[in-house]
Chain A
Amino acid sequence: MNPLESVDRVELCESLLTWIQTFGVEAPCKTVEDLTSGVVMAQVLQKIDPSYFDDNWINRIKTEVGDNWRLKISNLKKILKGILDYNHEVLGQQINDFTLPDVNLIGEHSDASELGRMLQLILGCAVNCEQKQEYIKTIMMMEESVQHVVMTAIQELMSKETP
């Protein structure tokens, strides 16, 4: 059974939004809308692994997207590809049978449920990367209800990973 069947995807998004704020990135990250440009996610990924998500990579993410959903989607596609490549090339694992986030819905409609899936993939990078201890310890300091959702999200990802 899918462990997230009993968890609201929107609740997942809210909890992961709280988690994303622990990275203290430059760009505002208080609301779902703040994240739909992809800029925050790119900055978080660079903190997770600055050697892989280097300046060359992040410079391809446009920062001044305003309300232009086409630019947002373009950014989100690059980020999703970056996450999947990172899993394959650095973490040595593939994510199978996981419904990938619909970046069109995130960019055009600020869909919290799809954004939750995207943040879930970033969470997977954080708890598997070289510096994972730092990120896991930060999660363990968070409110219990958030920790619970984060745990369920990680468990779902782990059930879809294959070496």
Chain B
Amino acid sequence: DPNMKGAAANEGVLANFFNSLLSKKTGTPG
């Protein structure tokens, strides 16, 4: 089902983005 594939891809994009944000260092020193 192409719709399901599209939804899964979208989910992957979101998860990748927010996970990379989680691992990004904050501006605080140290």
Contact = CB atoms under 8 A, between A and B. Distances in A.
Interface of A: 90-93, 127-130, 132-133, 136-137, 139-140, 144, 147-148, 151, 154-155, 163
Give 7 closest A-B pairs by Cβ, nearest first: A92-B27, A91-B27, A147-B14, A140-B18, A151-B17, A136-B22, A136-B18
What does DSSP make chain A's interface, helix, strand, loop or mixed? helix
A132 B24 CA distance: 10
Contact of A130 (B7, B10, B18, B26): B26
Interface of B: 7, 10-11, 13-15, 17-18, 21-22, 26-28
A130 to B, nearest CB: 6
A139 B18 contact: yes
A151 B21 CA distance: 10
A133 B14 CA distance: 15
Given A144-B10, A144-B11, A128 B18 contact: no
Given A139-B18, A151-B17, A90 B27 contact: yes
Contacts of B13: 151
16 contacts: A92-B27, A93-B27, A127-B21, A130-B26, A132-B26, A133-B22, A136-B21, A136-B22, A144-B7, A144-B14, A151-B13, A151-B14, A151-B17, A154-B17, A154-B21, A163-B27
